[in-house]
Amino acid sequence: MTPGRCRFCDAPLTTTFVDLGASPLANSFLAEDDLGRMEPFYPLHAMVCDACFLVQLPEFASPREIFSDYAYLSSMSDSWLAHCKAFADAAVARFGLTGKSLVVEVASNDGYLLRWFKDRGVRVLGIEPAENVAKIAEGNGVPTMARFFGTKLAGELASGGTRADLLVGNNVLAHVPDLNDFVRGLAALLAPGIAPRHVPAQDGEMRNSIADVSAIGAELGWAPARRGVDFGDVVAWWRARKVEV
Ligand SMILES: [Zn+2]
């Protein structure tokens, strides 16, 4: 088999991180009609990039196969819902969000987060590729586009005048096939000038937004997932690869 390429920096993927054999798709259950049929298994063989150290799976199943009928609903967890309510309270107060503000969430699932902003009179837009989940969000009163996010969708939204005053993504990067396109899309969707309002730094919206997210996390008592990561270094890394951040 020819080696795949790193989904972040495009270096060849040749080093095994851990090989766990073959597995069916997670969060994808069989229906009764499927019981007599063959169930597809895929290699669960995580590779680590020698150039940037991103651990990743080569892509065997397309995002459309994975997300066409997704079984995970974020609102199933009461403690996660309570956390999201606290996050929304903190974000509304910290950023002074009003009825004129727009909060966009990428991978917004069933509206588990945006509903709290909506309750406070803030405009919301969810972007959720799993159509069955997006429908549930709509049923919960959270406007949701059933689309995959990237520069294409961000460009469509921005040229139609839709820009986010707060842009949230929870547990999403690990599911993204094209990381660079996704992050470029985030930068394109942020309202101009939004970040400097919160953090008086000179070097771009993305960095400031990351700093804001970190600050909210600190206020809510979150520990950073990976200690020792300097977000300035992350931004410099993206810039060196011609990503505008
Ligand atoms: Zn890499």
CA of 52 to the centre of ligand 1 (A): 4
CA of 43 to the centre of ligand 1 (A): 20
Cross-sheet strand order for the sheet of 15-23: 15-23, 42-48, 55-56
| The pairing of beta strand 15-23 with beta strand 42-48 | antiparallel
Neighbours of ion ligand 1 (CB under 5 A): 6, 8-9, 11, 49, 51-52, 54
Interatomic CA distance for residues 57 and 7, integer angstroms: 9
Domains defined along the chain, listed by start: 15-61 (no CATH), 75-240 (3.40.50.150)
Interatomic CA distance for residues 70 and 80, integer angstroms: 19
| The pairing of beta strand 42-48 with beta strand 55-56 | antiparallel
CA of 55 to the centre of ligand 1 (A): 8
For 132, how many CA atoms within 13 A lie in the half-sphere containing its CB? 10
Please tell me the pTM assigned to this model: 0.71
Read off the pLDDT of residues 81-118 as tens digits, 9 standing for 90 and up: 999 999 999 999 988 999 999 999 999 999 999 999 99
Q: What is the DSSP letter of 225?
A: S
Read off the pLDDT of residues 184-231 as tens digits, 9 standing for 90 and up: 888 888 887 554 333 323 334 444 444 544 554 454 444 444 334 455
CA of 27 to the centre of ligand 1 (A): 27
CA of 14 to the centre of ligand 1 (A): 11
